[in-house]
Chain A
Amino acid sequence: MKVKKFWEKALKLFGLISAIFLLALPGAAEANYYIGIVGIESRTNNINLGDYTNLDNLDKHPLVYAQDIFEEILTTDLPSIGLTGVDKTAYSKMARKSEEEFQRVQEQMQKSLSQLDKGNTTEAVKLFDKKLDYLIYGYIANMTITHRESIATSNLTVRVDLTTRIVDAYTGKVVCVATGKGEAVSRSGGHRKSFKFGGDEISEDAWHEALEKALNQIVERIKKQV
């Protein structure tokens, strides 16, 4: 009798545990938070839009590329920490080569970014269709170009310092700050795609590499702070 009772109890227990797991697991899979990717702007005193010249042979403005790769890397990497990246509806698709259009969208974004700095998220939230938990934005804190010359070659090193902040979409409170630096060598001459920053010619590849490195470092640092 005792053995029978034991098995009855064990069966009941097993049923209860499996019911709890079944209830908990689908919910856990859905437990995801949405993070709106606002974008990147340049804030240093040595960069402004006028500094990027000779853009004719580029597909995208260097800052638009920065926006795109910012969105791309974050949407790929953040789900691993339970954050689903949400793209803005307008920015990247609208602003391509046209300088006027770029300026207009840039102004619109700068307005929302300056509000974000003050802890006001209303302007930035308007850029998205979805209900959000967090907003992420960043800026180029520093960009420097150094010359590396030898007898045979003359190369440039592009270094980009990026800073990102994650804020709560409701309260505007900063919940995470992550910085990253990326460096790439732009070899001189023969670039099909390049632009000028100040007086220096930078290849598109070097710009992409530097940004990518900085953003990957940022993602690693965000993961550390979760």
Chain B
Amino acid sequence: MRLKRILSLFIAFTFIFASSVFAKPFEGKTEGVGIFVGEVACYGEHEIRPEFLATFKEQLWQSLKEFESKGKLHTVGDDKWLGGGNTAPGFAGIIQFDSVLKDIHMDAIAYGPSFQRESANVKMTYYAEHALGEDYFWDDDKLAARKQMIGKPYRISPKLTEAAKTVGREYGADYLLFCNLVDADIKLKNSMFNASTTLNERPKQIKVASFFYLINIKNGLVYEGYNLSDKTGQILNLLGQYGKAMTAQNLLQCMFEVQSKRIVEDMYNEGQKVLGKGA
């Protein structure tokens, strides 16, 4: 009996060894929670140039994958949010894929406690007025009550909650993630003490703000997370690293990297905790 056990153990080890060598790179990770990234877009007042948005998406992907390598989460689904053209073949027939993800994202923004109509783009404003009613944004009590919900889980419209659950089930995800890069702004300062007139060497003020929305597939609850990088110690660190003559592009690249890392960490630590409590 013991011999048989040893034999079966050896065979199992051999197969594990062989399969680990044969495993295709970039595939097959299923540790931790499954995250499906629905959309990364800008619904802020000012449109962000596509190349900057693309950089932000790439940084977010990288941060997610680096977190994935720690075994805490794994991404599921396709790369459509990154700008690729893939959609799961079985999914295309069920619902209009692109539009439903956009709708879920906009619904999560509109119902989110931090949403301000005046700092959203026209499309988003119309959507929010349509979803919540135009009067909603003139009712001070409702707006004040809404502010109290910051950091707490909330719900989106039932129809889109069901759609989110369908997407999650289709891809085997535990959570859907949406990201709204609401503001990326660099201002060049004028100072009477600044002798330099070249663009790169003038003092700059930078602000990058983003919201993310995490939807729990099981209970349909949504968590809204907010990340702001303004004149903080981080920027001072960056300046220490790269010198004060850092260009606007460099600054943005660095801030996007910082933001994307924060989003992933906040989503994993805070988002999951809040959505789990609300269940």
Contacts and interface: CB of A to CB of B under 8 A. Distances in A.
B92 interface: no
Given A44-B51, A175-B26, A142 B250 contact: yes
Contact of A45 (B7, B51, B55): B51
Nearest to B11: A20
A134 to B, nearest CB: 8
A120 B61 contact: no
A178 B257 CA distance: 12
A179 B62 contact: yes
Interface in A91-113: none
B79 A174 contact: yes
Interface residues of A, number: 52
B246 A146 contact: yes
Interface string A124-165: 000000000110000001101011100000000101010100
Contacts of A72: none
B232 interface: no
A76 interface: no
A28 B22 contact: yes
Contacts of A49: none
B68 to A, nearest CB: 8
Interface residues of B, number: 43
B86 A171 contact: yes
A53 B250 CA distance: 23
A225 B246 CA distance: 29
Contacts, number: 126
A177 B86 contact: no
Interface of chain A: mostly helix, strand, loop or mixed: mixed
A178 B82 CA distance: 13
Contacts of B249: 44, 46, 142, 144, 161
A73 interface: no
B170 to A, nearest CB: 16
Interface string A1-20: 00000000110010011001
A17 B84 CA distance: 46
Nearest to B85: A119
B10 A17 contact: yes
Contacts of B86: 119, 171-173
Interface string B17-46: 110011011110000000000000000000
B154 to A, nearest CB: 31
B17 A172 contact: no
A225 B211 CA distance: 25
Interface in B175-206: 198, 200-201
Given A146-B247, A224-B66, A31 B82 contact: no
A83 interface: yes
B25 A81 contact: yes
Contacts of B24: 33, 133
19 contacts: A13-B6, A17-B11, A20-B10, A28-B17, A46-B249, A117-B83, A119-B85, A142-B55, A142-B250, A144-B250, A146-B200, A172-B86, A173-B79, A177-B62, A181-B253, A183-B242, A224-B66, A224-B69, A225-B68
Given A157-B243, A173-B86, 11 more contacts: A13-B7, A45-B51, A82-B25, A141-B55, A141-B58, A146-B200, A161-B253, A166-B26, A171-B86, A174-B82, A225-B69
Interface of B: 3, 6-7, 10-11, 14, 17-18, 21-22, 24-27, 51, 55, 58-59, 61-62, 65-66, 68-69, 78-79, 82-86, 198, 200-201, 242-243, 245-247, 249-250, 253, 257
Which 4 A-B pairs give the minimum distances between C-beta atoms?
Answer: A119-B85, A174-B79, A175-B26, A28-B21
